[in-house]
Amino acid sequence: MTTLQLCLVISSLLFCIGLVGALSRSHTILVLLGIELMLNAANMNFIAFWRFGASPTAATGVLFAIFSIAVAAAEAAVGLALVIAVYRHQKSVRLEEANRLKG
Amino acid sequence: MNLPVQLLWLIPALPLVAAGIGALTPRGGRPIAAGAAIAALIGSFILSCLALKTALVDPAAHLTANFSWFDLGTGTFRLGWLLDPLNAFMCVMVTFVGTLIFIFSLGYMKEDANFTRFFCFLSLFAAAMLGIVVANSLLLLFVSWELVGLASYLLIGFWFHKPEAAAAAKKAFITTRIGDLGLLLGMLWLYDRTGTLLFFDNGAGCLEAGALAGLSSATLCSGLAVSTAIGLLIFCGAVGKSGQFPLHVWLPDAMEGPTPVSALIHAATMVAAGVFLVARVYPLMSADQALTNVPLHALTVVAAIGAITALMGAVIAVAQNDIKRVLAFSTVSQLGYMMLALGVGSWVAAIFHLLTHAFFKALLFLGAGSVIHAAHHEQDIRQLGGLGPKLKVTFATFAVGMLALAGFPFLFSGFWSKEAILHAAEGWEVSHLPLIAGLIAVVLTAFYMTRLVSETFFGHGRSHASEHAHESPAVMTVPLAILAACSVLIGFVGTPAWPWLQSQLTGEPVHPHGWFEGAGLMMLSILLVAFGIGAGLAIYARRTRVTASQRDPIEAKAPSLFAFLGARMKLDELYAATVGKVNSALAVVSDGLDRYVWAGIVNFLGRLGEFAGVVYREADEEGLNGGFDTGSETLREAGKVYSRSQTGDAHAYLRALAVGFVVLVLVITLGGLR
Amino acid sequence: MNLILVLIGGLMLTAAAVAMSLRNIIHSALLLIGSWLGVSFFYLWAGAEFVAFAQVLVYVGAVSMVVLFAVLLTRRDRQDVVVAPETRTRAISALLVGGSVAGLLVSAVLGTPLATGPAETPTLTVKDLGTLLAGPQAAGLLIAGVILTVALLGAVVLAATDSGKEDAS
């Protein structure tokens, strides 16, 4: 196993931990945190490919990770604001109970 | 066995690890948290002793281990560890006194529900202080410095459910932060000028001759040397941390924390940091000494602040009634002594006093803690009394601490270090005012400590609590006994006849001066101590207080003066009336700007948007609606069909997504659809 | 070299896994801070210092605080941070799905012959990044700024209470 593969395996596992968390927990904030973990795993891939990829002189991976972190920050802020807004209406943070949009 | 300087980081790292363990331990795991904290500090103590041994091989050398932290732009940030006798002695003192305080806390905090949290914070505190001591970079020192501030905030406010404790913690944090602002500015300026924050770096550090020459030769428009200005800014940080006038106000309030915390703050860690900082950057502080055409030398300010603080602390301590507050103001006064010594040019005497003071002040605070523990948390000396026969060990050790603090001749360590400071002050060419302030403070110190001991231990109990006091357990008295022994012995490493400490600190042999040189000053100060103790005994011990409500003899003679001193010279009120008022006024102005100016602009933009909305709505309703109505009807029908699959369960969506992904990939790879 | 990576990864994965399985959500959030720190250590290890700092600032500093605030704002009493255990079927199905995704990803990673670049860490100073962001990538920077501003305003609008219309319950 090369170092690059090790990095990718670690990030895959992190992604799946986030996925399992997002799937299994019912607290909305925890689901959001699981999604954050998945995002982090994706960022790790960018960095890993930049570091061990074919042309590390091009800083594309790093730039992508930076933009991704910026977007993730926006996502976290909006997501948590949504949690608070939903909580105010429903007096609950359980994700199952936020199902008014069901058909 | 020696400790190489590359491994010096282990000394602060061990308590830091212990703090981490304490943080992760659940409330029930008391032995784990306390055991980790004490074991780590003992480990640090052993390492410190090895480091001291390494440092004393060549006392004049500054052993450093620098490494680059990260690159930013074209510059490289470097940090490092430093080992010389100054910080080796500090390490040994901090870890030794700290260990005893930790052990004492085992008994003192036994009943507390948050025992593990307490030990976690204590370890953090010790780790931060050791970080200050071993740092070879002003930046690293600053980081640890702020950690000390954080830990002190957490510990002073440990009983945060008490409003006074929460307020005291906030006060300590904010007051020291004012000084830290100066330190930060000084640090930035220093970096701007020298391009490095390493103290020693094989000739390229900011405390070495090359950088200092550049700093002291450049002048500002007021004629001040740049090194003076930077030195004074750094000194601001020391003023805040070491409780010097005018930022001393947090120190007495810090008594709201548990007593072992007070001991730690006053003896080993927090306040010592300021004195240590000035001693560490001493080459920078004294770089302007050779200049004759500058309006001000940095050390003159240090000496003045020290003298004012020494005198003021001693005067206020005379009129305090809380056992811990008396000790707190005595700390303020003693720190003033150390600053005075730094100012008059003898940093060695300052460090000597810092070391001896650490031992006997830890002893006094732990003794006070033992008294408080025994008397069911009664701290008012008017309510105590008659504790001498009941608390024999506490009384004996407290008396040793008191005599050391008062500077009782020959036998006690406080005498020798205070003598060293007074001797240095006598030799200062600029002025003899610091010497006079110091001598007055000697009388007052002896007087108020005698008052404290008489009120607490003599006579008979004046309240239920003091009548039913009982001696503390061995886990508390043994540290007291050890500290008492040290308070006596530690003085002999720096007597005029055998100045071992002085010669090791400077790395040059200091010739013991003869018995008669400086004997006049010594006689004078012995007389003053005797006068202070005698006056204290005559006023307080000859006729002890009978009831708790009886007025203090001094209060009876001069009630207004006593009340003024009892209210700590009204400095808190003065600050509230000046700085506080200005702050509130600024807040009102900002609020007005926010409310009327900025909000007005935002409101105007909002109105504009509203108007546009009205225009759009008209166009929408009149023109577009009709055509879309039919189209949307069809879409609604289609939507009804699809909406059945929308269960509204976000988990189901996510699960479907993941399963779909797996299935798709499997189909593509296994099904050969590539 | 790989040992350090395994250590970092182990720390990060353990913290994340424990965080995702704890019942007390405040503990979860605190452990996640540890996991995010682990990710930033990974960036440091890979030589992307700036991304590591951004990670610490954004996740460890900001997002974690926002999460803690959200937790504190959405609880009814002190005990409310402990969430009831999830239903067993859901946990098992989640583990199954997550496990199969993990298996798929890991086998794909291990089965792909990946071209490996140079062994030494590529140098990328903050100055280079700044030049790139101000030059060729300026549009991206501006768009990211706009997104952040919009997200900020949106979050404020979503979370703000309209004191005039809604009662304080």
DSSP chain A: --HHHHHHHHHHHHHHHHHHHHHH--BHHHHHHHHHHHHHHHHHHHHHHHHHSS-TTSTHHHHHHHHHHHHHHHHHHHHHHHHHHHHHHHS--BGGG--TT--
Count H helices, E strands: chain C?
A: 7, 0
Pairwise pLDDT comparison (B383 vs A31), residue with the higher score: A31
Max alpha carbon distance in chain A (Å)? 52
Q: How does residue B73 score in pLDDT terms, banded at 50, 70 and 90?
A: low
Is the bond preceding residue C85 a cis peptide, omega within 30 degrees? no
B564 pLDDT above the threshold of 50: yes
The whole-number pLDDT of residue A14 equals 93
Which residues 84-143 of C have a C-beta within 8 angstroms of A?
84, 86, 90-91, 93-95, 97-99, 101-102, 105-106, 109-110, 114-118, 121-122, 124, 128-129, 132-133, 137, 140
B642/A96 Cβ within 8 A: no
A-C Cβ pairs (cutoff 8 Å, strict): 238
Instruction: CATH number of the domain at C75, please.
Output: 1.20.120.1200
* Mean pLDDT of the residues in chain B: 82
Name the closest residue on chain B to residue A31, using Cα atoms: B651
Report for B347-356, B376-385, B627-636: range of highest mean pLDDT = B347-356
On whether residue C128 sits in a domain, the answer given is: no
CA distance B39 to A54: 50
The whole-number pLDDT of residue C168 equals 44
On whether residue C134 sits in a domain, the answer given is: no
On whether residue C8 sits in a domain, the answer given is: yes
Nearest to B310 by CA among B448, B432, B438, B403: B438
B328 pLDDT above the threshold of 70: yes
On whether residue C130 sits in a domain, the answer given is: no
B70/C49 Cβ within 8 A: yes
DSSP lists the bridge partners of residue B67 as B79
CA distance B412 to B449: 15
> Is A31 touching B (CB cutoff 8 A)?
yes
DSSP lists the bridge partners of residue B83 as B63
Q: What dihedral do alpha carbons C72, C75, C81, C87 form, nearest 10°?
A: -140
- The angle at the Cα of A14, spanning A8 to A20, to the nearest 5 degrees, equals 135
Nearest to B662 among C90, C100, C127 (CB): C100
Cα of A23 to nearest chain B Cα, Å: 6
Question: Which of C22, C24, C101, C121 to probe the B interface (max B CBs under 10 A)?
Answer: C101
A-B Cβ pairs (cutoff 8 Å, strict): 36
B673 pLDDT above the threshold of 50: yes
Pairwise pLDDT comparison (C160 vs B136), residue with the higher score: B136
Q: How does residue A101 score in pLDDT terms, banded at 50, 70 and 90?
A: low
Cα of A18 to nearest chain C Cα, Å: 8
On whether residue C136 sits in a domain, the answer given is: no
On chain A, the residues whose CB falls within 8 A of the CB of B655 are 23
> Is B619 touching A (CB cutoff 8 A)?
no
Decide if B382 contacts B455 (C-beta within 8 A): yes
A6/C2 Cβ within 8 A: yes
Q: What is the mean pLDDT of residues C55-82?
A: 80
Number of domains observed in the structure of chain C = 1
Question: Which of B659, B667, B668 to probe the C interface (max C CBs under 10 A)?
Answer: B659
Strand bridging mode B75-83 / B63-72:
antiparallel
Q: What are phi and psi of B218, to 5 degrees?
A: -75, 140
> Is B670 touching C (CB cutoff 8 A)?
no
On chain C, the residues whose CB falls within 8 A of the CB of A98 are none
Decide if B463 contacts B378 (C-beta within 8 A): yes
Which domain range does residue C65 map to? 2-109
Q: Cβ contacts of residue B375 below 8 Å, gap of 6+?
A: B383, B384, B387, B465, B466, B469
The whole-number pLDDT of residue A42 equals 92
**Location of structure tokens 């982090």:** A40
The whole-number pLDDT of residue C50 equals 87
CA distance C125 to C164: 52
The whole-number pLDDT of residue B76 equals 76
Decide if B97 contacts B267 (C-beta within 8 A): yes
Q: How does residue A9 score in pLDDT terms, banded at 50, 70 and 90?
A: very high
- The angle at the Cα of C145, spanning C142 to C149, to the nearest 5 degrees, equals 140
The whole-number pLDDT of residue A41 equals 93
Q: What is the mean pLDDT of residues C113-140?
A: 79
Q: What is the mean pLDDT of residues B423-445?
A: 83
C104/B658 Cβ within 8 A: no
Q: What is the mean pLDDT of residues C119-145?
A: 83
Q: What dihedral do alpha carbons B45, B47, B50, B56 form, nearest 10°?
A: -80
C58/A77 Cβ within 8 A: no
Which residues 65-84 of C have a C-beta within 8 angstroms of A?
66-67, 69-71, 73-74, 76, 83-84
Q: Cβ contacts of residue B37 below 8 Å, gap of 6+?
A: B15, B18, B19, B22, B102, B119, B120, B122, B123
Q: Within a 10 A sphere around the Cβ of C85, how many other Cβ atoms? A: 9
Cα of A103 to nearest chain C Cα, Å: 22
CA distance B183 to B239: 10
On whether residue C122 sits in a domain, the answer given is: no
On whether residue C121 sits in a domain, the answer given is: no
Chains that touch B (3 or more CB pairs under 8 A): A, C
DSSP code of B70?
E
- What is the fold of A3-102? Helix Hairpins (1.10.287)
B3 pLDDT above the threshold of 90: no
On whether residue C89 sits in a domain, the answer given is: yes
Q: Cβ contacts of residue B330 below 8 Å, gap of 6+?
A: B313, B314, B317, B361, B364, B405, B445, B448, B449
* Gap between the terminal Cα atoms of chain A: 48
A19/B658 Cβ within 8 A: yes
Nearest to A102 among B646, B655, B658 (CB): B646
On chain A, the residues whose CB falls within 8 A of the CB of C128 are 59
Cα of C126 to nearest chain B Cα, Å: 5
Decide if B50 contacts B165 (C-beta within 8 A): no
Nearest to B368 by CA among B384, B346, B348: B384
Written as one letter, the residue type at B539 is: I
Give one DSSP letter per residue of C60-109, joined into a string.
Answer: IIIIHHHHHHHHHHT-SSGGGGBPPPPPHHHHHHHHHHHHHHHHHHHHHH
DSSP code of B296?
-
* Gap between the terminal Cα atoms of chain C: 56
> Is B662 touching A (CB cutoff 8 A)?
no
> Is C127 touching B (CB cutoff 8 A)?
yes
Q: How does residue B514 score in pLDDT terms, banded at 50, 70 and 90?
A: low
> Is B631 touching C (CB cutoff 8 A)?
no
